[in-house]
Amino acid sequence: MSRDPSKNREQFRPESHENDHFLLTTIVGSYPKPKWLNRAKELSEDDDSKFTADHLEEAYDDACEVITHEHERAGLDTVVDGEMRRNEMVEFFAHRIDGYEFNGPVKVWGHNYFNKPSVADEVAYDEPWLVDEFEFTTNVAEKPVKVPITGPYTLANWSFNEAYETEEELAYDLADLVNEEIEKLVEAGARYIQIDEPALATTPDDHAIVGECLERIVADIPEEIRIGLHVCYGDYSRIYPELNDYPIDEFDVELCNGDYEQIDVFTEPDFEPDLALGVVDAHTAEVEPVEEIKENIKQGLKVVPPEKLTISPDCGLKLLPRDIAYGKMENMVKAAREVEQELDAGEIDLDVPVAKAD
C-alpha cells in the first residue's frame, strides 16, 4: 500500500472532541429520502402538473440540507447529503459520462427492474459529475463532507459493454475519468472520497483489476486527501490479503449483518489500511442498543488499533424507515464516544499491534 492514512485522518477530529482517543464516525452514503421529495419528483414528471424542473431542483436542495443537518444532529464527524439527488448508483453516473446510453429497463429479480445502461462508444469526461453537489453540501454543513463515488469496476460490470473488447479495458478508461473527477473535487475543497465497488463482492477474482483501477484513480492525488474503498457483503477471504496492496487509506467493510463471522479474515497478515467497520445493520429495521454497538466496535479492535478504526453503518441506509436510520446513527455515535472513554481509562484490552510510526 503506497498511501499513509495517518497523514489525513486527524483533520476530521472535531476541535471540541473531548476524548484523547478518536474513533472517526461516518456514514457510507445513501439515506432514506423524505417522502415529500419522492412526491415532488412525481409531480415534476406529470405533464398536467404546474410543478416545474426549477421547483424540483429547489426540493432537492431542501432535502440535501435537511439530511445533512440530520447527520450533524446525530453527531457524525463526517457527513454526506444522503445522495438525495441520486436515483441509482450506476444510472446516476452513466447519465453524466459520454459514451453511455439507455435502452430501457431490464428485469433483475422478481418484479424488480434496473435501468441498466449500455456503453455504446468510448467513454469520455465532459462536465463535472459531483462538484455542484459537493459545493452545495459544504455550504450548508458545519462538519467535513465525504463524497461517495461509484467505482469504475462497478460502472463497467453493471453495464452492457458494446464498445470495448474487454470489460477490463472499459474499467481502466472509467478509472481515468474518476481520477479526473476527483481532481475537480479536490480543487473544490473535498478531502474525503469514498470509492464504492459492490461488484467486487460478486466477482472477487477480479481484485487485481480493481487494484489497477485504484492506482489510476489516485494518480497525482495528494496524501492529505483521504481515499476510502467500500465493498459490501461477499467472501472477503477471496480478496484478502491482496487488498493490502490497494492504494487506499481506508477499507470500508460490511460485517455486522454476518455477525462478524469473517472478522478473523483480516487478522493474518496484519491489516494495512485503516478499517472502516460496519457496526449497525443496514438490512434490519431495528435500532441496535448502544451496548450492542459497543461490542461490535470492539470487533474492529481485533484487527486494527483505535487510531486506525473508523465507525460506520454496514452499508447505505436508504431502504430503512428514516427514523430507524437516524436512530442507528445516533446510537452508533454514542457507542463510539463511550468506547473512546473506556479506551482513555484503560478499560479495554488491545490485542492488535500499535500503529507504525511515520
Distances (CA, A) of 109 to 94, 105, 112, 151, 197: 22, 12, 5, 23, 21
Cβ contact 80:147 at 8 Å: yes
Residues 159 and 332: their CA atoms lie apart, in Å, by 35
Residues 328 and 317: their CA atoms lie apart, in Å, by 9
Q: Specify the residue for cell string 485522518.
A: 9
Annotated binding-site residue? 64: no
Going by DSSP bridges, is the β-strand pair 98-102/117-124 parallel, antiparallel, or unpaired? antiparallel
Identify any residues that bridge with 106 across adjacent strands, giving them in sequence order: 114
Residues 191 and 222: their CA atoms lie apart, in Å, by 10
Annotated binding-site residue? 71: no
Cβ contact 153:206 at 8 Å: yes
Environment class of 261 (CB within 10 Å of its CB; exposed 0-12, middle 13-18, buried 19+): exposed
- Minimal CA–CA distance to 43: which of 61, 58, 56? 56
Going by DSSP bridges, is the β-strand pair 192-196/250-253 parallel, antiparallel, or unpaired? unpaired
- Cβ atoms within 10 A of the Cβ of 171, count? 25
- Cβ atoms within 10 A of the Cβ of 52, count? 11
State the DSSP code for 25: E
Residues 357 and 46: their CA atoms lie apart, in Å, by 60
Annotated binding-site residue? 232: yes
Annotated binding-site residue? 58: no
Q: Tell me the backbone φ, ψ of residue 265, rounded to 5 degrees.
A: -55, -35
Q: By three-state DSSP, how is residue 318 classified?
A: coil
Residues 42 and 36: their CA atoms lie apart, in Å, by 10
Residues 190 and 182: their CA atoms lie apart, in Å, by 8
Annotated binding site for Zn(2+): 230, 232, 254, 315
Annotated binding site: 230, 232, 254, 315
